[in-house]
Amino acid sequence: MSRDHDHGVHTDPAALAELTEAAEHELTETATSGAVAGYVASRTLRFGVEIRRQLRRRRTQFVLGLVALLPFLLVLAFEIGSANPNRRQGGFIDLATVSAPNFVVVTLLVSGSFLLPMIVALFFGDTIASEASWSSLKYLLAIPVPRHRALRQKATVAGALAALSLTLLPAVALVAGIFWYGVGDAISPTGDAAPFGASVISLVLAVGYIIIQLSWIAGLALLLSVSTDAPLGAVGGAVLASIISLMLDQITALEDLRNYLPTHYSLAWTDLMATDVDTTAMANGALTSLCYATVFGLLAARKFAKKDITS
């Protein structure tokens, strides 16, 4: 041991040499990687931070407000419209006011062709394209946030917000239906009746299927979002693809080729409202949508990894 005569501090040459070597190693690693000491990639762009940021956006607040308001607009439409003289016969629309579960079914039917796909396309199409349009994407990646993490976190938040919206709509519709139409049995167009409790379980499963079935739009919108700097272009492109698929599905001349369209099984969840439930169509629809979503997602990741970021 040696003594520092100026300060009276004992120093161990071996310990000092070890600390010096560790410091030099850290400086070397920092210089090599370009990262600041203490930087951890997994701590960048955290889910909680990003979702709070997205919830503060007027776009998100507008979408959530719209899905919460829609059931009440439908109640108003049924109240001022003419009622079916036989409330236990007819199609799903004619049976909307029979009970709360029937009202939820109609709410999902009238919004399923355009509104629900648009909501999913809006959240996913706005992920990367909005950052590019604001010229903030290059600064986000310069933090640095790894590209694969930025895309994954953005997509995860978009998925959470889309699932929240798709769940909020039937939840509010159920509450509104209970208040206006009661907790009676769910009546199907075939005349079958299901107890309130069983019908609510079926509706929960239906919402889960709808979320999975719309995953193909999520994947496509994400791919378009990394391909353009215009958010509206990404959103509009995904919605347009959904509309075209719906149109092609109406062409009976295509025969079995329609089974490969991503929207062919979009209404398969209505099979849950029958007494004897056949899940074949739902299984086919879920598989088809997940295959499309996987392909689009992989293409989006590949394109974003190689994209030249200038904005």
> What would the pLDDT profile of 156-186 be if each residue is shown by its tens digit?
999 999 999 999 999 999 999 999 999 988 9
> What would the pLDDT profile of 136-164 be if each residue is shown by its tens digit?
888 888 888 899 999 999 999 999 999 99
Cα separation, 306 vs 284, whole angstroms = 34
Residue whose tokens read 């069983």 = 198
Cα separation, 186 vs 99, whole angstroms = 6
Give me the pLDDT at residue 167, please. Answer: 98
pLDDT tier for residue 13 given thresholds of 50, 70 and 90? low
The amino acid occupying position 129 is A
Res 33 pLDDT > 50: no
Cα separation, 176 vs 264, whole angstroms = 30
Q: Is 127 exposed, middle or buried (0-12, 13-18, 19+ CB in 10 A)?
A: buried
pLDDT tier for residue 23 given thresholds of 50, 70 and 90? very low
Instruction: With residue 186 as reference, give the H or E element that holds it.
Output: strand 186-187
pTM score, whole prediction:
0.85
Q: What is the mean pLDDT of residues 230-258?
A: 95
pLDDT tier for residue 84 given thresholds of 50, 70 and 90? low
Contacts for 105 with CB less than 8 Å, ≥ 6 apart: 92, 96, 186, 203, 270, 273
Q: Which tokens hold the place of 60?
A: 């998100």
Cα separation, 150 vs 144, whole angstroms = 10
Give me the pLDDT at residue 12, please. Answer: 52
Cα separation, 238 vs 217, whole angstroms = 6
- Min mean pLDDT across 22-26, 149-153, 225-229 is at 22-26
